[in-house]
């Protein structure tokens, strides 16, 4: 048994409605399925996402951390979430990005929804 396209798109829409913010941090522990927030958040970097696009069985979110938020840090983690009072939806760790004044950091993530019928 698996999800049909209509069910997958409904799941995509629910996920889309529940991801409204992005935030960055300096933690270096690899992400796990049990994460609920950033390991080491950078103060004042939580911001609303820029765009959200859905196509059949796909969700694309883009978020920008402005050059004026959290500059001077070596950014190594990012999280998608609803807002600061909600649990995380997706956290990643990556090679350090030196966040400097005058340079925004832009994240774009694509989620794919599929179901297998057997």
**Rg, Å, the chain Cα set:** 15
Helix (H) or strand (E) run with residue 16 in it: helix 5-17
Mean pLDDT of 93-115: 94
**Stretch 85-93: mean pLDDT, rounded?**
85
Map residue 60 onto helix, strand or coil: strand
Cα separation, 83 vs 73, in Å, equals 22
Closest CA to 106 of 72, 61, 71, 73: 61
Give the count of alpha carbons within 13 A of 106, CB side only.
7
Nearest to 75 by CA among 101, 49, 103, 105: 105
| 95-104 per-position pLDDT tens digit | 999 999 999 9
Mean pLDDT taken over the chain: 91
Categorize the per-residue pLDDT at 86 as very low, low, confident or very high, splitting at 50, 70 and 90. Answer: confident
């Amino acid at each position: 048994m698996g999800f049909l396209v209509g069910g997958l798109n409904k799941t995509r829409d629910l996920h889309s409605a529940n991801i409204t913010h992005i935030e960055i941090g300096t933690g270096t522990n690899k992400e796990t399925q049990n994460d609920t927030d950033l390991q080491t958040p950078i103060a004042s970097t939580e911001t609303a996402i820029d765009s959200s696009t859905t196509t059949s069985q796909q969700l694309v979110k883009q978020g920008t951390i402005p050059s004026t938020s959290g500059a001077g840090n070596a950014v190594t983690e990012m999280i998608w979430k609803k807002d600061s009072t909600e649990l995380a939806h997706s956290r990643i760790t990556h090679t350090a990005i030196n966040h400097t004044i005058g340079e925004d950091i832009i994240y774009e993530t694509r989620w794919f929804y599929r179901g297998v019928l057997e």
